[in-house]
Homo-oligomer: A and B are copies of this chain.
Amino acid sequence: MSVPVPYVDIESLIGDEKNCIWQRIRHIVQAEVPSLTRSAEYFFQPGVEGKRVRSSALLLVASALSDGEMGDPSKSALYLKPDLRPYSQYPEEVRRKQQRIAEITEMIHVATLLHDDVLDDAETRRGLNSVNKMFGNKTAILGGDFLLAKASVALAALRNTEVLILMATVIENLVTGEMMQSRSSQDERMSLDYYYRKTFLKTASLIANSCKSAALLGNHSDEVAQLASDYGYHLGMSFQLVDDVLDFVGSSSSLGKPTLSDLKSGIATAPVLFASQEEPQLVDLTLRKFKYEGDVDMASRLVAKTSGVKKTMEVAEMHASKAIKAVDTFPPARGKYAEVCRDALRHLANSVVTRRT
């Protein structure tokens, strides 16, 4: 990053609140049928929550725009107990509404993971067997549908039409992005524009719109909500670009080699698309979806010879900078705690591009 950003311990700021939200999620995904509960709660078990970057961004945006309520232990205590009211009940308190959006965001996210893993016939996820492998495709598909239904009821209870439409549109975006990835023409497979659009739909839209929803539920203006959305958008784009780089340069824990899971699924991400400008042989490999013996290794070696990874990281850093710039243009902070949360947002954007896993 060109400008150094301060280190902030994000977990000490919002770790307890996230744990409350996860407790609530585990509470509300109880179904009438045990096997449905098992699949719906599977990725909400303690220890397999994933990075929770979506709810981190959302809660920090909410606090960065607030009067510092959550920084005052006498006021925040109420919101650091799990909210176990029925999921269809309207919450009066702004912070509870924002927590609900965090909960809804994570439920939508996990619903798409369940469906994507069926589509990709995935074996593992977050170090566990995938739900489809554990309980079968049927349970995984219905578990995802169940989470979407629960999220819809929880959304309805917020009684805010604009937020409802934003979040329902996110689901449409996620589905469209997944379809773009799996059904592309040859031209589309080689197009960076197509890749960026798909990345917005599959990853950035959910983060952008949940941050925007948190701002709207905090009764901020449309202009401020747009800045919150900008932060989430750029964070999401950056996050996914780095994910795609880590697939090439990261290491799976056991083998110490890149996992190359995208190539193995026939998908060319930014590192390949940039690399193909220098190594035209990658065009053929991409168009045939790396499907012949040796294609994946050859593509990996060719990418390593080029500046594909470097160029992708430059785009990721550009997005992280824009995320930070969105925070810089937030309206004046209402107190010290809001300032700390803004630094946390900057740190989060920075850590997304500097992470190694």
Known A-B contacts A33-B183, A115-B145; the reply to A165 vs B157 at CB < 8 A is yes
State which of B149, B171, B178, B180 has its C-beta within 8 Å of the C-beta of A172. B149
| CB proximity of A259 to chain B, nearest CB, Å | 22
Main SS class of interface, A: helix
Residues of B within 8 A of A36 (CB): 175-176, 179
Name the CB-closest residue of B to A151: B168
One complex includes copies of this chain to the number of 2
Known A-B contacts A35-B179, A118-B141, A182-B138; the reply to A172 vs B146 at CB < 8 A is yes
Known A-B contacts A141-B118, A168-B152; the reply to A33 vs B180 at CB < 8 A is yes
Known A-B contacts A165-B88, A168-B153; the reply to A142 vs B179 at CB < 8 A is yes
Q: Is A1 an interface residue (CB 8 A)?
A: no
- Contact across chains for A119 and B146 when beta carbons are under 8 A apart: no
Q: Is A12 an interface residue (CB 8 A)?
A: no
Q: Is A161 an interface residue (CB 8 A)?
A: yes
| CB proximity of A23 to chain B, nearest CB, Å | 21
How far is A115 from B164 in the complex, measured between Cα atoms in Å?
24
- Contact across chains for B175 and A146 when beta carbons are under 8 A apart: yes
- Contact across chains for A146 and B176 when beta carbons are under 8 A apart: yes
Q: Is A150 an interface residue (CB 8 A)?
A: yes
- Contact across chains for B176 and A152 when beta carbons are under 8 A apart: no
Residues of B within 8 A of A5 (CB): none
- Contact across chains for A183 and B35 when beta carbons are under 8 A apart: yes
How far is A340 from B241 in the complex, measured between Cα atoms in Å?
62
In chain A, positions 95-141 with a C-beta closer than 8 Å to chain B are: 115, 118-119, 137-139, 141
Known A-B contacts A33-B179, A88-B165, A183-B33; the reply to A153 vs B141 at CB < 8 A is no
Chain A interface residues (CB < 8 Å from chain B): 31-33, 35-36, 88, 90, 115, 118-119, 137-139, 141-142, 144-146, 148-150, 152-153, 155-157, 159, 161, 164-165, 168-169, 171-172, 174-176, 178-180, 182-183
Cross-chain pairs A/B with CB under 8 angstroms, 30 sampled: A31-B176, A33-B179, A33-B180, A36-B176, A36-B179, A88-B165, A90-B161, A115-B145, A119-B137, A138-B182, A139-B179, A139-B183, A141-B141, A142-B178, A142-B179, A144-B145, A145-B145, A145-B148, A145-B175, A146-B176, A146-B179, A149-B168, A149-B172, A149-B175, A150-B172, A152-B164, A153-B168, A153-B169, A156-B156, A157-B161
